[in-house]
Structure 1
Amino acid sequence: MENKQDETSFWLKNCHVTVDGGLTAYLTMSDALIQEQSFPQLTYQGLVEFLRHNGVTFGIDMVACQQIVMNPRGYIGFRTKVATGQAPRHGENAIIDVLLEDQMHVPRKLEDGRVDFFDLGVVRTVHKGQVVATKKPATEGVQGVGVNGAPIMAKPGRDFRLPQGKNTVISADGLQLIADKDGHVSYTPRDVKINIFDVFEVNSDVDFSVGNIEFLGSVSIRGNVLSGFKIVAAGDIEIAGNVESAVLEAGGDVIIRGGVQARGKGMIKAGGTVRARFMQGGVVDAGVDVIVRDSIMHCTISAGRNIFMEAQKSVIVGGMVRAGEEVRTRTLGSPMATPTEVEVGVHPQLRSEMQELHQRMKDLQQNMDKTKKALVLLDNMAGISNQLPPDKAAMRKNLSVTYEHYLNEEEELMFRRSEIEAILLDTRRAKVLCIDVVYGGVKLTLGTQVAYVRDSRVGPVAYKITDGELTSSSVTS
Structure 2
Amino acid sequence: MEILQNEHFSIVENGGKIYVIVTKPGYPLILLNKLINQYPRLAVTKFMALKEALENGTGEQVEIGELKPEVECMISRDYMTAKIKLNIIESQLKEHYSEYVSKVLDVLHLNNVREGILVQVLQQELIAGKEILIAKGIEPINGNNAIITYFTCSDRKPTIREDGKADYYDMNFIDEVKKGDWLGEKIPATSGKPGKTVTGELILPKKGKDKKLQYDIKTVTEIEEDGKTVLRALVDGVVEFHNGKIGVGDHLIIEGDVGVETGNIDFKGSITVKGIIKEGFSVTATKDVSIMSEIGISGIKKIESLSGDVFIKGGIFGKGSSVVKAAKNIFVKYSNEAILEAGENINIGYYSVGSTLRAKNIFTDDQKGKLIGGVIEARGKIRTAIIGNQMQRKTILHVQGFDREKLKRDLDDLLNKYREKMLQVEKLKRKLEVFESFLDQLNAVQHSQYIEVKRDFDKIMIEIFQLEDKRKSIMSMLEIKGEGEISIGKIAFPDTMLKIKNFNKRLNESTKGTFYAQNNSLHFE
TM superposition score category, shorter chain reference: 0.5 to 0.7
| Equivalent-residue separation in structure 2 for 1:100 and 1:407 (angstroms) | 23
| Equivalent-residue separation in structure 2 for 1:143 and 1:419 (angstroms) | 41
Corresponding residue of 1:231: 284
| Equivalent-residue separation in structure 2 for 1:160 and 1:177 (angstroms) | 8
1:75-133 alpha-carbon deviations (Å, 9 max, x no partner): xxxxxxx9999475452552526477655454343654x5243xx26576868588555
| Equivalent-residue separation in structure 2 for 1:40 and 1:407 (angstroms) | 70
| Equivalent-residue separation in structure 2 for 1:65 and 1:443 (angstroms) | 87
Match of 1:341 among 381, 386, 399: 399
2:187 counterpart of 1:137 = yes
> What is the CA-CA distance between 1:59 and the residue it aligns to?
1.0
| Equivalent-residue separation in structure 2 for 1:407 and 1:164 (angstroms) | 13
Corresponding residue of 1:21: none
**Aligned CA distance change for structure 1 residues 44 and 273 (closer, same or farther; 3 Å):** farther
Corresponding residue of 1:199: 253
Task: Please report the TM-score for the alignment, with normalisation by the length of structure 2.
Answer: 0.48
Q: Secondary structure at the match of 1:321?
A: strand
2:204 counterpart of 1:151 = yes
1:173-202 alpha-carbon deviations (Å, 9 max, x no partner): 556666778x77555697644557341579
Counterpart mapping for 1:290-305 below 5 A: 291=349, 293-295=351-353, 297-302=355-360
**Aligned CA distance change for structure 1 residues 422 and 331 (closer, same or farther; 3 Å):** closer
| Equivalent-residue separation in structure 2 for 1:34 and 1:454 (angstroms) | 96
| Equivalent-residue separation in structure 2 for 1:129 and 1:406 (angstroms) | 29
Corresponding residue of 2:342: 284
Corresponding residue of 1:329: 385
| Equivalent-residue separation in structure 2 for 1:359 and 1:99 (angstroms) | 29
Q: Secondary structure at the match of 1:282?
A: strand
| Equivalent-residue separation in structure 1 for 2:509 and 2:196 (angstroms) | 69
| Equivalent-residue separation in structure 2 for 1:278 and 1:358 (angstroms) | 45
2:81 counterpart of 1:60 = yes
1:16-67 alpha-carbon deviations (Å, 9 max, x no partner): xxxxxxxxxxxxxxxx999998664556987747x6xxxx35212527999x
Q: Is the 8 A contact 2:70 2:86 kept in 1?
A: yes
**Aligned CA distance change for structure 1 residues 356 and 260 (closer, same or farther; 3 Å):** farther
Task: Please report the TM-score for the alignment, with normalisation by the length of structure 1.
Answer: 0.52
1:442-461 alpha-carbon deviations (Å, 9 max, x no partner): 3569xxxx997665674554
| Equivalent-residue separation in structure 2 for 1:211 and 1:418 (angstroms) | 34
Q: Which amino acid aligns with 1:434?
A: G
Q: Secondary structure at the match of 1:314?
A: strand
Q: Is the 8 A contact 1:357 1:413 kept in 2?
A: no
Q: Secondary structure at the match of 2:208?
A: coil
Q: Secondary structure at the match of 2:487?
A: strand
Match of 1:432 among 457, 482, 487: 487
> What is the CA-CA distance between 1:268 and the residue it aligns to?
2.5
Q: Which amino acid aligns with 1:216?
A: G
2:273 counterpart of 1:215 = no
> What is the CA-CA distance between 1:266 and the residue it aligns to?
8.1
| Equivalent-residue separation in structure 1 for 2:73 and 2:319 (angstroms) | 88
Q: Is the 8 A contact 2:397 2:497 kept in 1?
A: yes
Corresponding residue of 2:431: none
**Aligned CA distance change for structure 1 residues 456 and 214 (closer, same or farther; 3 Å):** same
Corresponding residue of 2:56: none
Larger Rg: 2
Q: Which amino acid aligns with 1:197?
A: H
| Equivalent-residue separation in structure 2 for 1:188 and 1:233 (angstroms) | 15
Q: Which amino acid aligns with 2:353?
A: S
Counterpart mapping for 1:359-374 below 5 A: none
| Equivalent-residue separation in structure 1 for 2:195 and 2:303 (angstroms) | 66
| Equivalent-residue separation in structure 2 for 1:168 and 1:176 (angstroms) | 8
Q: Is the 8 A contact 2:239 2:246 kept in 1?
A: no
Counterpart mapping for 1:19-98 below 5 A: 40-41=66-67, 48=74, 56-60=77-81, 62=83, 86=139, 89=142, 91-96=144-149, 98=151
**Aligned CA distance change for structure 1 residues 86 and 312 (closer, same or farther; 3 Å):** closer
Match of 2:311 among 230, 247, 254: 254
Between 1:171-180 and 1:133-142, the stretch displaced more is: 171-180
Corresponding residue of 1:29: none
Q: Is the 8 A contact 2:189 2:207 kept in 1?
A: no
> What is the CA-CA distance between 1:434 and the residue it aligns to?
2.6
| Equivalent-residue separation in structure 2 for 1:310 and 1:196 (angstroms) | 37
> What is the CA-CA distance between 1:283 and the residue it aligns to?
2.0
| Equivalent-residue separation in structure 2 for 1:2 and 1:418 (angstroms) | 80
> What is the CA-CA distance between 1:153 and the residue it aligns to?
1.5
Q: Secondary structure at the match of 1:436?
A: strand
Q: Is the 8 A contact 1:96 1:160 kept in 2?
A: no
| Equivalent-residue separation in structure 1 for 2:84 and 2:315 (angstroms) | 78
| Equivalent-residue separation in structure 1 for 2:479 and 2:514 (angstroms) | 14
1:218-241 alpha-carbon deviations (Å, 9 max, x no partner): 153632456xx7712444243833
> What is the CA-CA distance between 1:435 and the residue it aligns to?
1.9
Q: Which amino acid aligns with 2:327?
A: K
Corresponding residue of 1:384: none
**Aligned CA distance change for structure 1 residues 365 and 85 (closer, same or farther; 3 Å):** same
Unpaired runs of at least 5, structure 1:
5-31, 73-81, 372-393, 465-469
| Equivalent-residue separation in structure 2 for 1:433 and 1:98 (angstroms) | 38
Equivalent pairs counted in the alignment come to 385
> What is the CA-CA distance between 1:360 and the residue it aligns to?
6.9
Q: Which amino acid aligns with 1:107?
A: I
Corresponding residue of 1:241: 298
Corresponding residue of 1:385: none
Q: Which amino acid aligns with 2:490?
A: I
Q: Is the 8 A contact 2:360 2:378 kept in 1?
A: yes
**Aligned CA distance change for structure 1 residues 263 and 242 (closer, same or farther; 3 Å):** closer
1:282-302 alpha-carbon deviations (Å, 9 max, x no partner): 321357955463237443213
Q: Is the 8 A contact 2:288 2:307 kept in 1?
A: yes
Q: Which amino acid aligns with 1:330?
A: I
Corresponding residue of 2:167: 115
> What is the CA-CA distance between 1:337 and the residue it aligns to?
7.9
Q: Which amino acid aligns with 1:321?
A: A
| Equivalent-residue separation in structure 2 for 1:419 and 1:104 (angstroms) | 21
Unpaired runs of at least 5, structure 2:
1-13, 18-44, 51-63, 88-127, 429-444, 517-521
| Equivalent-residue separation in structure 2 for 1:175 and 1:363 (angstroms) | 28
Provide the alpha-carbon RMSD of the alignment: 6.6
